[in-house]
Amino acid sequence: MSVQSQRPFSRLNRRPLVNTWYPYFLGFMLLMFWGYAWYIERVEVVKVIEWLNNQSLGALATLPYVPQILGFFHWKVLRHVVAVAVGYFFARDAAIMLVKILYDLPDRAGASRFLNRLLNAGFGTVKPPEITPAMLANERNDSVLLRVGGPGQVKVPTGHVMVTEFNGRFHRILAAGIHKLERYEYIHAVINLQPQQRMLDEFAAYSRDGLELRVGLSIVYRIKLGSEPTTRENPYPYDETAVRTAAYVQTVVDDKGIVTTWEDTPLNMAKGTLTAILAGFRLDEIMTPATPGEEPYRTLRNELLRQLRLKLDGMGIDLQAVGIHRIDLPDGVTAQYIDYWKSHWESQMLLNVTEGRATAEEKMEVAKAEAEIMMIQAIQEGIQRAKREGATAHMEELVALRLVEALEQMARRSESLTPLPNALMAQLDNMRRQLSDGNYNPRLPGKPIV
C-alpha cells in the first residue's frame, strides 16, 4: 500500500491535541495584562495608604508589600480586567452554544458540563457513574458522556467489560473498575460476562406432517473464557477476541430500527434452529420416543445443542446448556391429529392386506406351477423306468406310482404352510402300496382322494 493511500486512514486515527499547558498560559497572559494595566494607570502607593487609613485599616498599611498588592485592585486597574472578564463570559457562552449545536445536545446545562470536562481533561469532583448495559441503552440519548464520549471517568461494574471506540473504530476493552476515558472516546457496549439464561415459553413450529406445534425452550450461555484461570481476584475471565466479536453482533429486526445485541441473538437463533429441526420429523417421532424408556426430546435436544453450539462459537459465545420444556398440540389440532392417524393406520392396514393377498396368490401360482412340473417329471420318469425294465405292459401302473409319489412329496412340502385333510396322507400311502404290489385297480370303486 502506498503512502498516499495510507494518509486517509491516518487522518481517521488521529487523536485530538491535549494541550494541558494552555490554561496555564492563559492565566499567565491574564496576569501580564493585569500588571500592564497597573503600570499604565500608575496607582500611587501613598494614595492606597491614605485610603486604608480613611477606612480604619491602617494596620494593613504597615504590612510589607500589602499597599503595593492592593494597588492591583484599584478601580482604575480593575476596569481593564472587567473588560477581559466580560469578553471571557461571552466567549464561553458562544462556546457552550457551539457545543450544543454541534453535538445536538438537549440543553445548555449538558453542553456546559461537557465543555467543562473538555477543559478539565475529564477530572471532576462528581462520583464516576457506574455504566451497566441497561443504563447504556436507556440513557445514551440523555447523557452527554454516553452520547458523545470522553473525557470523563466511568465505573465498570463487577462481572462486566466495556468496549470503547475512537473515531468509529475499536479502541480498547476496559475491565471492571474505574477508568478515565480519553477525549471523544466513545462507549460502544458494556458486556455482561456472567452466565446468561433466556427462556421462550411458547412459539409456533410445524412437523414434517404439516401439523402445528407449541414449543418452549431455554438456553444458558456466556462469553467465552480466556486462557486465564478463574480466581477470587478475577472471577470472570474472558477472551478479548470473543468480547470484541460479541460487542459488534447487532441485527436490525424491524422497520423501526430496533437493534438486537449479542444477548438476544442466541435465543433467536435457538428458536430458528429448533423450528428447522422439528420440520424434519413426523409428529409420532416427536411425541413418542423410538426407544422405550428414552427421555422425551433427547434426540431433538442433542441435535439442537450440536447445531447451535457451532453457530454461536463463531460469535464468541459459549453455549452451556439447552432445554426443551414443552412440545404440545394447540387447541383444535388434537382432533386433526387423531383423524390423520386414523386414516394413516387404515391405509396402512389396507396396504398390508393387499400385499398379503398378492403374496398369497403369488405363492399359490408358484406352487401350482411347481406341482405341474413335478407331475410331468413323474410321468416322464415312470415312462422311462418302464422302458428300462421292459415292463411296457404295466406302464400305466408305473406312471401312476410315480404320480402318487410326487403327490406325497408335494403334500409334505405344503404341510407346514397349509393344513391338509386328515386322511389324505393315509390314502396316498395306501395307493402307493397297492401300486407297488400290483394289486391296484383304478376301475374298482373306492374312496376318492380329497
Whether the per-residue pLDDT at 55 is higher than 60: the answer is yes
pLDDT confidence of residue 321:
92
pLDDT 10s digits, 90-125: 888 888 888 888 777 777 887 887 777 777 665 555
Burial of 133 (0-12, 13-18, 19+ CB in 10 A): middle
Residues 148-153: what's their mean pLDDT?
Answer: 83
pLDDT score recorded for residue 289: 62
pLDDT of residue 183: 83
pLDDT in tens, 265-322: 899 999 999 999 999 888 777 776 666 556 667 888 899 999 999 999 888 899 999 9
HEC profile of the chain: CCHHHHHHHHHHCCCCCCCCCHHHHHHHHHHHHHHHHHHHHCCCHHHHHHHHHHCCCHHHHCCCCHHHHHHHHCHHHHHHHHHHHHHHHHHHHHHHHHHHHHCCCCCHHHHHHHHHHHHCCCCCCCCCCECCHHHHHHHCCCCHHHHCCCCEEEEECCCEEEEEEECCEEEEEECCEEEEECCCCEEEEEEECCCEEEEEEEEEEECCCCCEEEEEEEEEEEECCCCCCCCCCCCCCCCHHHHHHHHCCCEECCCCCCEECCCCHHHHHHHHHHHHHHCCCCHHHHHCCCCCCCCCCHHHHHHHHHHHHHHHHCCCEEEEEEEEEEEECCCCHHHHHHHHHHHHHHHHHHHHHHHHHHHHHHHHHHHHHHHHHHHHHHHHHHHHHHHHHCCHHHHHHHHHHHHHHHHHHHHHHHCCCCCCCCCHHHHHHHHHHHHHHCCCCCCCCCCCCC
Residue 177, beta-bridge partner list? 156
Block residue for cell numbers 396396504: 351
pLDDT band at 448 (very low <50, low <70, confident <90, very high): very low
Residues facing residue 216 across a β-bridge:
326
The whole-number pLDDT of residue 60 equals 66
* For range 325-349, the mean pLDDT: 72
Where is pLDDT greater, at 70 or 169? Answer: 169
Q: Can the peptide bond before residue 151 be classed as cis, meaning omega within 30 degrees of 0?
A: yes
Stronger pLDDT, 355 or 238, i.e. the higher one: 238
Q: CATH code for 196-330?
A: 3.30.479.30
Instruction: State the average pLDDT for the chain.
Output: 76
pLDDT of residue 232: 83
Q: Give residue 449's pLDDT.
A: 39
pLDDT at position 259 over 80? no
- Tell whether the model's pLDDT for residue 392 goes beyond 70: no
The percent of residues above 70 in pLDDT, for the chain, comes to 62
Q: Is the pLDDT of residue 35 over 70?
A: yes
* Cα 343 from Cα 336, distance rounded (Å): 11
User: Alpha-carbon distance 297 to 289, whole Å?
Assistant: 8
Each domain of the chain, given as residue ranges in start order, spans 16-102, 125-192, 196-330, 364-437
Q: What is the pLDDT of residues 198-254, one digit of tens each?
A: 999 889 998 888 888 889 999 999 999 878 888 888 888 899 999 999 888 877 666
Residue 392, number of CB atoms within 10 A of its CB? 10
Half-sphere exposure of 275 (CA within 13 A, CB side): 13
Kindly report, residue by residue over 188-201, the tens digit of the pLDDT.
Answer: 999 999 999 999 98
